[in-house]
Structure 1
Amino acid sequence: MQTKTDHRLVITTISGKLPRPIYNKQLPPIDINKLKLLDFAESFKSGLYTELESLDLTENVQDKWNNITKHIIETATEVLGHITPNKRSANPKIVELSRKQRQLQTYFKMSSKNNTKCKELKIERNKIQKQIKQILELKKYDTIIKQTEEINKSSNESAKITLLVDTGSGLTTNIEEQTKIIADFFKDVFNKPAGQVLLQAPPCKMSTPFTEKEVRKAISKLKLNKAAGIDNI
């Protein structure tokens, strides 16, 4: 191969880190994940198309590029909006538990050489994390219940949420009763006797046997769990 150079060609592998995007600290980043939704994607395309139609083609290249990027950012901000930053909880219990958790984390770093102490601190920290999770789940459940009540107050019958029905006591909103209804349903489904047993196909000789390449490929896929085999393989 003619390269017109006195240097020898060298094939090598280079590893490097991709630069992370630097966001404007004054504004949160645009929520580009909404582009995965068809409605937002279509709105963004139509809005950007309208903006780009009004570009002045007589401008120099740099000015045109600046205007294109400006229209893209403005359209994305208008259609997609910014990512809502996570707000810290104002619940006093969560605030206090979070303070204890940070304190334990500090002690954990200070006691990194003491395995026994680290183990005790880790157990205590996990307990606090579990308490915080329970409080957040309860808050989420209360929010869903309130939203359900608001929807069911609607005059639109199709918007109302159907409640679980117990044949014995009628409608129920009790969590334990709902759990029992669902559990009984699945017990009834999975405890039914098995259906008709499939007939076993007798072994027979293939007219065109598998090639060695096909067998190796099948074994490789089974090992990678890309193609599940039959139960009695």
Structure 2
Amino acid sequence: MDSVIRLILLCLPVVMIIGNDFSVNQTECLEGVVGKSIDIPCSFTYPETYKPRKINIHWRRNDRFGEFIFNLSRSYIHPHYRGRIDFLGDPIWKNTGTIRISHIKQSDQNLYFCLVEGKGNYTSGWQSNTGTLLIVRGQGPTPSPAPLTPSVTAATSARTGEDEDELGQGVILIIRCALALGMLAIVWLIGIYLMKSREVTIHPIEGSGNRPNERRVDQTEITSRNL
């Protein structure tokens, strides 16, 4: 508050001149976004007969006679804007007093007026009648996820095809293994069958081997009887 009062007292001797020879040009309306930055441009002119040795730039808010938020020569920045106002103008060579407000807040929505103060053969100050209305809007909705690009879709399709090929090869391998096992089982059964058949054939031959002995016994008995 003390700083504001000092600035007002400083500006009391300044003669406010608004006319064709002294003018301040500002954009009527600007729109900013919360969290972003915005430049509020200001340019001015003065008559050729006026020879300022020094030019200072002030900025007010609310109305033409509102509170000061910026003073170039005193490096003053209102506490609400501290660390968020940068001076982009060149008052001496380009006749500009543009400022930038960073990290915009919803409470920054207001009217802003640029006041030019010149010190030369006499002290004068002039500013715009309308100022610049800054409208602040909130950030937009969160964007929806982007659709899959053709390359991603193609890669997914290719991977699906590879999975199908691997599945088909697995099924074929299982079928081949089953067939091989089936063939082994058939061969094993045939071998068992042949072995059983051979045992049946050999049995009568073993029985016939006893017949000579039996016959020999019969002949002995017959010989004994003859004696």
TM-score by length of 1: 0.17
| Structure richer in strand, relative to its length | 2
| Structure richer in helix, relative to its length | 1
Greater Cα radius of gyration, structure 1 or 2: 2
